[in-house]
Amino acid sequence: MPTDYQAVFQQALPYGDFLAAHASPDQQHRWQQMADSVKLGSDQRQLLGSFTRQMQVLCIAGAWCGDCVDQCPILWHFAEASDVIELRFIDRDADKSFQQQMMMCGGARVPQVVFLSEDGEFVGHFGDRTLARYRQMASSQLGAACPTGIVVPERSLTEAVTTEWLDQFERIHLVLRTSPRLRELHAD
């Protein structure tokens, strides 16, 4: 049976509510530290502000996860910079059935993002790490490299990860913007 992403999205929480419900004070501090370090450029803000189609963004995450600490605040900044991005978070372990459906390479990997149209139709999926992050991990292969979220990543890596996530958001927006179904619905 296909996943009812819209139902999962409706159960998911906004960024702050997700952290309040699932993160310890120490974890909240780590997420805030990362959020404070993310700086969107004016071109990035302009691009996000130019989006016209409503986009529901469901992020499967864990407040304890270092990769989530490093990436989810970036997504929050995107939603803050755009009037049409509705970002919600669901804890990876909240729904075992959904967790099983979202397995990647045999594991319950996070963060993962599911992009939905304004009416809840599946548009795309991306995660758990960007190419820049995997390149960095490959170059420093020290066994099981698992970020802790304790130390904010280098600025250049954060900028590369931000750019790669933004590319995914732009791609999804263009899918929505050029969709014949949505163009007909909006008469544009």
Instruction: Specify the pLDDT at position 46.
Output: 98
Instruction: Specify the pLDDT at position 151.
Output: 57
Instruction: Specify the pLDDT at position 169.
Output: 98
Instruction: Specify the pLDDT at position 155.
Output: 65
Determine the Cα–Cα distance for residues 51 and 182; give it in Å rounded to an integer: 14
Instruction: Specify the pLDDT at position 137.
Output: 79
**What domain range includes position 137?**
5-186
Cβ count within 10 A of residue 171: 14
Instruction: Specify the pLDDT at position 35.
Output: 98
Domain count, the chain: 1
pTM equals 0.90
Q: How many residues does the chain have?
A: 188
Closest C-alpha among 15, 17, 112, 30 to residue 64: 30
Report the CATH number that the domain containing residue 32 is assigned in CATH.
3.40.30.10
Residues of the chain below pLDDT 70: 1, 141-155
Instruction: Specify the pLDDT at position 21.
Output: 98
Instruction: Specify the pLDDT at position 147.
Output: 56
Q: What would the 3-class secondary structure string for 140-160 be?
A: CCCCCCCCCCCCCCCHHHHHH
Instruction: Specify the pLDDT at position 75.
Output: 98
Instruction: Specify the pLDDT at position 97.
Output: 85
